[in-house]
Amino acid sequence: MIIVIGAGPAGLAAAEAASRNGSEVALIDSSSRLGGQYWRHRSKVTGYRSNRADEIFAKVSAAQSITHISEANIWSAEREGNLIRVNYLQGGIESSLTAEKVIIATGAYDRTLPFPGWDTPGSMTPGAAQSLLKGQGVLVGKRIIVAGTGPFLLPVATGLAEAGAEIVALIDANSPLRWSLSPLALLTNITKFSELVYYVRLMRKFRIRPHFGRAVTTFANGVATISAVNSGFHIKSGKSQAMRADVVAVGWGFVPDLSLGGILGCAQRVDSDGTVIFEVDENQLSSQPQIWIAGEATGIGGADLSLIEGEIAGLAASGQKIRHALLTERVRKQRFANALKRSYPVRDGWREWITSNTTICRCEEVKSQEIKDSVSELGAEDSRTSKLFTRAGMGLCQGRMCSRNVSEIVSGITQCAVTDGERIAASNRPIAAPISLGQLSDGKNSR
Ligand SMILES: Cc1cc2nc3c(=O)[nH]c(=O)nc-3n(C[C@H](O)[C@H](O)[C@H](O)COP(=O)(O)OP(=O)(O)OC[C@H]3O[C@@H](n4cnc5c(N)ncnc54)[C@H](O)[C@@H]3O)c2cc1C
């Protein structure tokens, strides 16, 4: 049996590919529906080339050897000899499942940067605004500003507009001219132009105006400050304006979810943009035997790359031949993923947007000044020591949201670059999802 963790594009493709030779597959996901972050719609998947989702949903549903275990949140995993056991909570009951092989396709989550007001009602990530719309049919507000950086802002803004919101502004801190840094990636991924044209048409239809070189730097009582920023994200003085909105949806790309692979000891490395990702070989095999990893957990690259990586992992785990064309296609898509990183960097200038009173760790309510004091008054030299003094990153989310920001604030004061070891340590945690002692002590169902 092969356990596939995550039913997004990578996990779906992995399960489908592995099932082609009749391998038994358990496809586990914490959500009630197939599709992962991008295709988790209430009814039909909409958006650019949504037929890709229809095709893979149909194949996975038709495959007799795939069992979909939904609403199962895996909180830990362990090795038992040659087997791997995953422990999950489903409907408040702890269960476990054991298999010889595991494919991890746990995706990524929104990256946030703090700014004054980011923790007040009406401020959220674009992913949250989109999830509420796709998953629950809830439109988060009437007048919305979508901001941050990256192409993901386009489907969010146009999706919200289609649902009836007025997009007051679409704001990207980077310049589109940065794409000129990656001519080869553009030439070898020419189909991406049709995706751009698709969104530009929608933006015209809904009169959405993009603004570049700007960022939401404060939000209070329904008023956002939009500041002009330079390429380092430093605010240009005298060039700010106020905009009224019910909601600011601000996101800065994605953070790969490393929890489960980390618990199982899969090796990681720091990518060129500072994100921590898994090391995999050309067959998506991790550093650990019998564990393959695919999709955004091995680097942010979009749904198309996730589908290819998932297919390769599924074929490899089930012992099937991998077509050379699939490997070549992955190289092409990875080139585009690298261009995304070059085009939408997140620069350090954001550290100037925060005030001493800005909350950095929302779970433990730690303010920026407390982190600064932990360095200048108490002698913390890195984020780990600062965490011990302030509790930043010790709350329910275990630092998923704030740990990178804390490291970068500390590094800004000490003037010492964040080390790879520090980044990797901050990305790993001993359990993948919260579980109560009561649930643990109730005993478990095993398969
Ligand atoms: C919030 C959000 C919205 C996005 N919207 C768009 C969009 O509109 N357009 C676009 O082009 N790209 C979008 N992306 C990017 C897109 O999600 C990815 O390119 C693609 O879906 C990645 O596929 P994946 O299979 O690697 O991961 P995902 O699609 O993220 O799937 C991972 C799955 O693993 C599950 N999982 C994770 N951990 C556990 C666990 N411990 N137990 C059980 N299940 C677990 C998750 O619930 C999820 O279903 C979005 C990303 C995010 C984070």
Residue 441 has pLDDT above 90, yes or no: no
Residue 245's contacts (CB-CB under 8 Å, 6 or more residues apart) are 122, 141, 143, 144, 145, 168, 222, 223, 224
For residue 37, give the ligand 1 atom closest to its CA.
29
- Residue 175's pLDDT is what? 96
Q: Residue 89 C-alpha to ligand 1 middle, in angstroms?
A: 19
Q: How confident is the model at residue 437 (pLDDT cuts 50, 70, 90)?
A: confident
pLDDT, average across residues 151-165: 96
381-384: list long-range contacts, CB under 8 Å, 24+ apart: 381/410, 381/414, 381/416, 382/407, 382/410, 382/414, 382/416, 382/419, 382/422, 383/407, 383/410, 383/411, 383/418, 383/422, 383/426, 384/422, 384/425, 384/426
* Whole-prediction pTM: 0.94
Q: How far apart are the first and last CA of the chain?
A: 12
8 A C-beta contact, residue 337 and residue 306: no
Helix (H, G, I), strand (E, B) or coil at 266: coil
Please, which residues have CB within 8 angstroms of residue 404's CB and are 6 or more apart in sequence? Answer: 111, 255, 274, 423, 426
Q: What does the angle CA 333 – CA 339 – CA 344 come to, to the nearest 5 degrees?
A: 130
> Partners of 97 in the beta sheet?
86
Predicted confidence at residue 399, as pLDDT, reads 93
Distance (angstroms) between ligand 1 centre and the Cα of 406 equals 25
Q: How many angstroms separate the alpha carbon of residue 417 from the centre of ligand 1?
A: 30
Task: Set out the domains of the chain in order of their start, with CATH numbers.
Answer: 2-109+255-322 (3.50.50.60), 112-252 (3.50.50.60), 354-427 (1.10.10)
Of all protein residues, whose CA lies closest to atom 33 belonging to ligand 1? 6
As a whole number of angstroms, the distance between CA 345 and CA 340 comes to: 8
Structure tokens belonging to residue 179: 């794409």
Average pLDDT of the chain, as a whole number: 94
